[in-house]
Amino acid sequence: MTPKKHIATPIRTKEILNKYVFSFKKSLGQNFLVDVNILKNIIKHAGIDRKSGVIEVGPGIGALTEQLAIHADKVVAFEIDQRLLPILQDTLEDYNNIQIIHEDILEANVHEVMEAHFETEQPVHIIANLPYYITTPILMKLLKDKLPVSSLTVMIQKEVAERMAAKPNTKSYGSLTIAVQYYTQAEVMMSVPRSVFMPQPNVDSSVLHLVKRDVPPVHVEDEAYFFALVQACFGQRRKTLRNNLTRYFEETYDKESINQKLERIDIDGTRRAESLNMQEFATMANEFYNADK
């Protein structure tokens, strides 16, 4: 079913906002997309088809939700702002394959929602235009929940997308890179200029496509320990691995003990964290974890 007038145009968006006297909340990072072609490209990159189930985070006034409803089997959207519920009921009234849930995605039991709304073998994708201030907490919650989804496609701040898809020995590479790529294969699919949003944000955006891994690319004894150690290694980027680890383990190991452990796994303590690949981080985390037991 094709709508008479797409929501994602400047004129229609203004009409809707004026009709409901809607004011943007900075605290919720609300920026609505007003370019239908970009939305269609996002859906294409996400691999959505008529068999797909979709979880959307933050539908706003329904611009992306509408396009998803046209291309997918069913859309379940989480919206935290109660003021948007009557607007969504109005803008999406022509579609019978959309379910709006008024809940903070950070508090939601997404496993239960998926069981209630999607078929057991149905491919499910997560799509979201995430507020810049809360991108990482939302994404890490969705990844750590280990949801049975095929992929996550998110529109986020350009610099954050670059960090999540970065390679070793680059400025963007860091603990966030490791955390995201442990669970997924990450690729920046397209850039989105700030001019296609209302209101216009202060930063440019990118669409990041994350394909869920069946199993992580490395073996770690304890995931929480692994992530904490990686974060510590990047604590002060300009410092060596040895210095960051000495600071992290100050109550457990002295510098000599740390040197011995690093030598045992053939990692030079004078390197910086950005030069280590994920396998090296995993080997190091396992070495320290087993020594701690």
Amino acid at 242: R
pLDDT tens sequence across 137-178: 999 999 999 999 999 999 999 999 999 999 999 999 999 999
| pLDDT for 4 | 56
Residue 133 has pLDDT above 90, yes or no: no
CATH architecture designation of domain 223-292: Orthogonal Bundle (1.10)
- The residues with which 100 forms a beta bridge, in sequence order, are 77
CA distance 229 to 233: 6
Confidence grade of residue 8 (pLDDT, cut at 50, 70, 90):
very high
Mean pLDDT within 124-138: 91
CATH architecture designation of domain 10-212: 3-Layer(aba) Sandwich (3.40)
Mean pLDDT within 22-39: 83
62 is annotated as contributing to ligand binding: no
Let me know the angle formed at the C-alpha of 159 by 158 and 162, rounded to the nearest 5 degrees.
90
Residue 206 has pLDDT above 50, yes or no: yes
35 is annotated as contributing to ligand binding: no
| pLDDT for 147 | 95
243 is annotated as contributing to ligand binding: no
Confidence grade of residue 2 (pLDDT, cut at 50, 70, 90):
very low
Asked if domains 10-212 and 223-292 share a fold, the reply is: no
pLDDT tens sequence across 97-107: 999 999 999 99
| pLDDT for 25 | 73
Confidence grade of residue 293 (pLDDT, cut at 50, 70, 90):
low
What is the reported pTM? 0.92
29 is annotated as contributing to ligand binding: no
Average pLDDT of the residues of the chain? 94
119-141 in b/e form (b: 16+ CB < 10 A) is: eeeebbbbbbbbbbeebbebbee
Comparing 23 with 187, the larger pLDDT belongs to: 187
Domain map (residue ranges) of the chain? 10-212, 223-292
Helical H segments across 9-62, by residue range: 10-19, 36-46
94 is annotated as contributing to ligand binding: no
| CA distances (Å), origin 240, targets 164, 171, 245 | 22, 15, 9
129 is annotated as contributing to ligand binding: yes
| pLDDT for 1 | 46
